[in-house]
């Protein structure tokens, strides 16, 4: 045994290529097999293992066996030592020429661990001098035991680097490669990280998280980057999109589903292995766990630009890289996401104060400035507090990774989808317009169409590649689980009792918004809303298993307490979640939330107040686009209200809301404003469309117009159609909403500041639909524009009928000198019955209403002659006699109380100097009111005397 080491070295120093004159030595050199030093050592190690097994089988005495085993173990140590040194320094001993030596000799057997990476039909040939799946794990374990601490990295570090930079990871075909070589990399790495010392060593290598890496290079420079960037997205793996998703418009659905299933299975295999690898790293040591967390945090920090708009993909990490890391973090989060939320209290709510792992310096806060957040953090930082636990780290890293990664990939998909739709519409327009056929431009147009089809097919292939990853059912379920947990945690943070969900939160929330909530990054809320919107539009059925109650609770919490969020666009997103939650799909006519809105206690109590409140609030967002933004928000509100209107509990809630007169009158006024604007705009657009379509019907005259003029008119027509479609649909929806509310409650619509405007608006639109110019509202394909004048006429007549029993309303209609006439209303009745919009029975109450209005008009005309009215009694805005004069505090102008109340419903500023104003600030003028009342009495007495005189028939 004393000679073993020297004998081994002597053998290793033999050089088959050396020249010698020693005839005794020459046969030895000639007999040497053409193997590397490492192969010789591996062969010796394998023979040693066989000898050891044979020794144990023989029945030597225990002392003899132990003595022999001890000698074998000493030899094993030598073999492993020199094997490690040979990997580290392959030129330490003579090597045969043309044979790879060093780290590649251990990389090769690691790669062969995956059966899918081995050549097909390869036989079970065992090389006596090579490692294979049956013994490589033991060999690496013995290497790790022999070379510990700082000695291990020089031996296995190069092996890890070469394994993770293997050429198979950069081939254009990526995951879809025919040899599946990447699976060998995965299998080899999975084996290495099962050995704690090796796993810990990997995280200590400079390349694990290289300091020189940038956002776009971290996935190529970091050890795990090349493996983590494998994916299916077309931006970085165009070969996959081209291979799997060409000519998608011509392929059967089953064929497409097969392509999705194949790629998703492969991607799932990769992501599962990535988690096992990172999990092995995390569990190897506390230091390794910290290194992994720092790696995730570094990726997030470097890629904060991904959260912006119009980001150059070359300046940030790829979608595939971020997507795979999101999958890994979801898997780490799974253990603390349970149905009972039992581990929620383990999450540190002050993580951003206790840890600097995630940088929020450039992030918008929910409801505070960065300076306020910094001051509060400094005041509440506890130097003695322990570092946040692993659960907290994973929770907040998962949120951030989603914000900068997954959700931005979703934005890319949405943008790509819009691009596909726009390109398809453009292609349809060009192909349908055959005016170029037979002209000199025909060849050029046909070539342009062919090129457009090729480009469209390419866009579609990329879109479906994104569908593969982002719409993978398992990944969607994982995202729903995490989002559900996050939304519940968010509500727990605003719950004053911090008992949600064990005890359901009390709504609305307190007026005082806690600072701990204000300083949180806004993206925590926004990302929940964004994912909910995405999944409800693309895969609503995935929420059926779990999460719909949490989704509804999240929406109701922040729609009932909108002051907890500063950003008006974020509030609108939350409102949109409710809208898409009631959008029908499959067999669910009322969407995912349709049924639960009619049964959930929170919804039955708070839905109507929340919607009416937000309908009012969205009027003023502070954004330059607020005028148009409000219509989208209100369209969503109207849709939800119509969805639940059949429920008597919700209708009763409307009546309760009407008891809050000031709020509900403002709501009613805004509804009327919307109807006035939307119908006016849509009627104007429809009239212009009618004019242009009539021009085009005269084909001879149209052909005589210059080409440029025809193109301009066609462009104008398309613009008008887009605009009219939006206004007509929104207008019809709002009229329908007005019909529902007037059927349920009358008092708010009879307020002095409302009733006259309501009557005038209804009269004007009835005149447009049934008046002499109604023929100008006929267009081709009205359904495509959402233009349904029959339904609109029916709804307006229904509103008249809903309010026909109210004397104030009858008086207001009769007093409308601009649009009301008996002839107009009777014509509307004839049109309604003549075109089957209403039956004679249905229209009979409308005819009675016309009669009552005419009687009211006659009485008012008889009483209405007041003669000359003193100027001081006239309202300066409406030029009508004031009944309750008040003084505006800042402009010092005197107006009628009803006039200024009506104005303030739409505009909270003094109309004379634009200073802020509320109705509570106006000052009554009792002496002026007394003079006006006296004037009215005097004029009334004069009219009465005149009537009596006219009735006196005495001689």
Residues 795 and 737 sit within 8 Å (Cβ to Cβ): no
State what percent of residues in the chain have pLDDT above 70: 95
In this model, does residue 629 exceed pLDDT 50? yes
DSSP string, 211-273: TT--TTTHHHHSSSHHHHT----TTT-HHHHHHHSTTGGGS-HHHHHHHHHHHHHHHHHHHHH
Rounded CA separation 128/85 (Å): 21
Provide CB contacts within 8 A for 350, sequence distance 6+.
380, 516
Report residue 772 as tokens: 């002499």
pLDDT band of 121, cuts 50, 70, 90: very low
- pLDDT at 134 (0 to 100): 87
Q: 871-952 belongs to which CATH class?
A: alpha beta
- pLDDT at 53 (0 to 100): 93
- The torsion angles phi and psi of 820, rounded to 5 degrees, stand at -75, 140
pLDDT, tens digit (0-9, with 9 covering 90-100), for 218-230: 999 999 999 999 9
- pLDDT at 550 (0 to 100): 95
DSSP string, 471-521: T-HHHHHHHHHHHHHHHHHHHHHH-TT--TTTSPPPSSPPSSPPHHHHTSB
Average pLDDT, integer, range 886-905? 88
- pLDDT at 951 (0 to 100): 61
- pLDDT at 15 (0 to 100): 80
Report residue 271 as tokens: 């992501």
Average pLDDT, integer, range 423-441? 76
- pLDDT at 350 (0 to 100): 93
- pLDDT at 123 (0 to 100): 46
pLDDT, tens digit (0-9, with 9 covering 90-100), for 672-704: 888 888 988 888 988 998 898 888 888 788 878
Report residue 902 as tokens: 């009506």
Is the model more confident about 22 or about 93? 93
Average pLDDT, integer, range 166-187? 84
In this model, does residue 433 exceed pLDDT 80? no
- pLDDT at 120 (0 to 100): 40
Domain extents in the chain: 3-101, 661-862, 871-952
In this model, does residue 119 exceed pLDDT 60? no
Helix (H, G, I), strand (E, B) or coil at 868: coil
Rounded CA separation 123/125 (Å): 6
**pLDDT averaged over the chain?**
89
- pLDDT at 862 (0 to 100): 65
Q: What is the dihedral of CA 127, 132, 135, 140, to 10 degrees?
A: 120
Least confident of 118-122, 341-345, 365-369, 587-591: 118-122
Rounded CA separation 898/882 (Å): 9
* Three-state secondary structure readout of 97-150: CCCCCCCHHHHHHHHCCCHHHCCCCCCCCCCCCCCCCCCHHHHHHHHHHHCCHH
Whole-prediction pTM: 0.86
- pLDDT at 777 (0 to 100): 81
State what percent of residues in the chain have pLDDT above 90: 61
pLDDT, tens digit (0-9, with 9 covering 90-100), for 542-590: 999 889 999 999 999 999 999 999 999 999 999 999 999 999 998 889 9
- Of these ranges, 291-295, 622-626, 659-663, the one predicted with the greatest mean pLDDT is 291-295
In this model, does residue 495 exceed pLDDT 60? yes
């Amino acid at each position: 045994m004393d000679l073993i080491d020297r004998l081994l070295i002597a053998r290793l120093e033999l050089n088959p290529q050396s020249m010698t004159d020693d005839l005794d030595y020459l046969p030895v050199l000639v007999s040497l097999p053409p193997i590397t030093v490492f192969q010789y050592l591996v062969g010796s190690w394998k023979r040693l293992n066989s000898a050891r097994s044979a020794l144990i089988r023989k029945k030597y005495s225990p002392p003899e066996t132990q003595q022999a085993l001890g000698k074998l173990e000493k030899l094993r140590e030598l073999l492993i030592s020199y094997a490690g040194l040979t990997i580290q320094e392959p030129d330490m001993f003579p090597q045969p020429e043309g044979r790879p030596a060093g780290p590649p000799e251990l990389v090769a057997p690691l790669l062969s661990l995956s059966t899918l990476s081995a050549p097909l039909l390869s036989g079970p040939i065992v090389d006596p001098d090579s490692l294979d799946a049956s013994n490589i794990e033991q060999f690496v374990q013995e290497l790790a035991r022999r070379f510990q601490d700082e000695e291990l990295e020089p031996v296995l570090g190069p092996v890890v680097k070469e394994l993770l930079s293997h050429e198979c990871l950069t081939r254009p075909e990526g995951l879809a490669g025919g040899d599946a070589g990447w699976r060998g990399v995965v299998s080899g790495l999975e084996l290495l990280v099962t050995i704690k010392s090796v796993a810990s060593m990997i995280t200590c290598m400079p390349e694990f998280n290289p300091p020189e890496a940038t956002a776009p290079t971290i996935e190529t420079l970091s050890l795990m980057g090349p493996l983590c960037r494998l994916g299916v997205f077309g931006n970085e793996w165009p070969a996959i999109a081209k291979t799997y998703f060409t000519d998608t418009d011509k392929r059967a659905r089953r064929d497409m589903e097969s392509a999705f299933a194949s790629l998703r299975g492969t991607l799932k295999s990769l992501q599962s292995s990535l988690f096992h690898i990172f999990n092995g790293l995390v569990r190897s040591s506390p230091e390794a766990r910290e290194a992994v967390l720092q790696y995730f945090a570094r990726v997030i920090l470097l890629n904060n630009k991904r959260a912006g708009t119009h980001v150059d993909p070359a300046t940030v990490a790829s979608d595939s890289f971020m997507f795979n890391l999101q999958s890994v973090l979801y898997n780490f989060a799974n253990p603390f996401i349970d149905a009972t939320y039992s581990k929620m209290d383990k999450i540190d709510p002050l993580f951003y104060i206790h840890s600097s792992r995630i940088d929020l310096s450039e992030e918008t806060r929910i409801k505070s400035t960065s300076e306020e957040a910094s001051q509060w953090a400094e005041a509440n930082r506890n130097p003695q507090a322990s570092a946040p636990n692993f659960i907290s780290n994973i929770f907040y890293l998962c949120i951030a990774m989603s914000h900068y990664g997954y959700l931005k990939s979703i934005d890319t998909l949405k943008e790509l989808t819009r691009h596909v739709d726009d390109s398809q519409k453009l292609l349809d327009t060009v192909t349908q317009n055959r005016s170029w056929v037979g002209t000199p431009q025909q060849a050029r147009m046909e070539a342009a169409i062919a090129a457009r089809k090729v480009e469209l097919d390419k866009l579609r292939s990329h879109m479906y590649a994104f569908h593969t990853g982002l719409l993978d059912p398992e990944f969607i379920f994982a995202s729903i689980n995490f989002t559900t947990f996050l939304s519940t945690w968010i509500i727990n943070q605003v719950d004053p009792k911090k008992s949600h969900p064990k005890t359901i939160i009390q709504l609305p929330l307190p007026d005082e918004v806690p600072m701990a909530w204000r300083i949180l990054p806004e993206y925590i809320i926004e990302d929940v809303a964004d994912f909910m919107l995405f999944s409800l539009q693309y895969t609503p059925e995935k929420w059926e298993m779990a999460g719909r109650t949490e989704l509804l609770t999240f929406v109701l919490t922040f729609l009932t307490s909108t002051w907890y969020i500063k950003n008006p666009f974020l509030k609108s997103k939350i409102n949109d979640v409710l809208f898409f939650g009631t959008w029908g799909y499959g067999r669910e006519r009322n969407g995912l939330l349709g049924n639960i809105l009619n049964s959930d206690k929170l919804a039955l109590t708070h839905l109507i107040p929340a919607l009416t409140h937000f309908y009012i609030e969205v009027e003023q967002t502070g954004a330059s686009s607020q005028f148009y933004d409000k219509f989208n928000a209100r369209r969503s509100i109207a849709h939800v209200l119509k969805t639940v209107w059949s429920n008597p509990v919700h209708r009763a809630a409307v009546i309760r809301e009407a008891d809050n007169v000031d709020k509900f009158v403002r709501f009613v006024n805004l509804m009327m404003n919307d109807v006035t604007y939307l119908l006016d705009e849509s009627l104007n657009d429809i009239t212009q469309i009618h004019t242009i379509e009539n021009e085009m019907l005269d084909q001879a005259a149209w052909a005589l117009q210059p080409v440029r003029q025809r193109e301009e008119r066609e462009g104008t027509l398309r613009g008008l159609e887009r605009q009219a479609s939006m206004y007509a649909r929104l207008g019809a929806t709002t009229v329908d909403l007005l019909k529902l509310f007037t059927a349920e409650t009358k008092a708010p619509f009879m307020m002095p500041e409302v009733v006259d405007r309501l009557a005038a608006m209804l009269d004007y639109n009835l005149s447009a639909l049934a008046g002499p110019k109604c023929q100008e509202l006929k267009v081709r394909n009205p359904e495509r524009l959402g233009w349904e004048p029959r339904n609109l006429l029916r709804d307006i007549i229904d509103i008249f009928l809903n309010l026909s029993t109210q004397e104030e309303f009858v008086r207001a209609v009769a007093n409308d000198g601009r649009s009301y006439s008996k002839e107009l209303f009777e014509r509307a009745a004839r049109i309604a019955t003549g075109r089957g919009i209403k039956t004679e029975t249905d229209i009979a109450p409308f005819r009675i209403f016309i009669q009552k209005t005419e009687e009211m008009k006659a009485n008012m005309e008889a009483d209405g002659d007041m003669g000359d009215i003193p100027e001081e009694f006239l309202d300066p805005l409406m030029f009508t006699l004031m009944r309750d004069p008040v003084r505006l505090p800042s402009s010092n102008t005197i107006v009628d109380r009803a006039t200024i109340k009506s104005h303030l419903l739409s505009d909270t500023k003094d109309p004379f100097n634009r200073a802020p104003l509320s109705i509570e600030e106006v000052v009554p003028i009792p002496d002026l009111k007394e003079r006006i009342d006296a004037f009215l009495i005097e004029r009334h007495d004069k009219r009465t005397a005149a009537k009596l005189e006219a009735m006196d028939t005495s001689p």
